[in-house]
Amino acid sequence: MSGAPQDPLGDLIEAQRPALPPVRRALYLAGGIVCMILGVVGWLVPIVTGVPFYILGFALLGLASPRAARWVNALDRRLPLRARLALRRRRSS
């Protein structure tokens, strides 16, 4: 018997990767925090939606931290198949 079934789509953000240089990691972290703040502003100001900023913020935080990458991947596995495929199409384009 094997453990959990393998995910055919794989992870959205690679959690096991070589360590990033500290400057690049800090830039990803800062960019992710700025995008999250813009997402909150998007909630408060109805002209701009906050959802794209949240998605970009989660992706940048996932690039900055392996723990955040695992969390984003766990959330990704809970999405419907069509949404997961759409995210991967956007990522590759």
Burial 68-83 (b: 16+ CB within 10 A, else e): bbebbbeebeeeeeee
Q: Any residues with CB less than 8 A from the CB of 43 and at least 6 apart, and which?
A: 50
Q: DSSP states of 4-64 as a string?
A: SPPPTT--SS-SS-PPPPHHHHHHHHHHHHHHHHHHHHHHHSTTS-SHHHHHHHHHHHHHH
**Residue pLDDT tens, the chain, 93 long:** 444 556 777 777 777 778 888 999 999 999 999 999 999 988 888 777 888 888 889 889 988 888 888 888 888 888 888 888 888 777 665
The token duo for 20 is 């990033």
